[in-house]
Copies of this chain bind each other. A is one copy, B any other.
């Protein structure tokens, strides 16, 4: 998605350590008009898939998933990261290691909101090592639902998540794939 690549080049910051900050439009401030274009693009790429529900993970996946869901006309379910009094006991649960935060956390989805009838599209802002996506995939499988695709805004193509998920036969659509990056320098695939 050319406009996304341009926006990453203009507004993204690479402070080092394979970290890309896109706080200006995606991870802290939200450019809602632009996220709408992202949603429209996901809808185009997954239009044949008869998605029944979009699954994402709090917090930064929520905006992209919610805006995208307007094009699919389906509900969003966001997996929760920590045990909260407000969450049902009856949950699907998986463990995810976050390199960003350097810790393992639980992700949970109430059993009420996923069923074996569901055709699930996972949407998330980033794909790097794939831990979050694999945790969500695990939850989809626990529910007996079908994972029909993964829509990612920015994939770090030099990390292994995309390869692992595609080799598992999943349609992974990343709107921008970064081949390599260093401070002041970002190179995309293709």
A residues sitting closer than 8 Å to B (CB atoms) are: 19, 21, 23-24, 27-33, 35-36, 58-60, 62-63, 65-67, 69-70, 73-78, 80-81, 84-88, 100-102, 109-110, 112-113
Contact = CB atoms under 8 A, between A and B. Distances in A.
B88 A30 contact: no
Contacts of A58: 58-60
B28 A113 contact: yes
A28 to B, nearest CB: 6
Given A19-B86, A30-B76, 20 more contacts: A19-B85, A23-B88, A23-B110, A27-B86, A28-B77, A28-B109, A28-B110, A29-B76, A30-B62, A30-B66, A30-B77, A32-B66, A32-B69, A32-B76, A58-B58, A58-B59, A58-B60, A59-B81, A63-B76, A86-B100
A56 to B, nearest CB: 9
Contacts of A75: 29-32
Closest 5 CB pairs of A and B: A58-B59, A59-B59, A30-B76, A63-B66, A32-B69
Contact of A66 (B67, B80, B85, B101): B67
Contacts of A35: 66
A48 B78 CA distance: 33
A150 to B, nearest CB: 19
Contacts of A85: 19, 100-102
A170 to B, nearest CB: 23
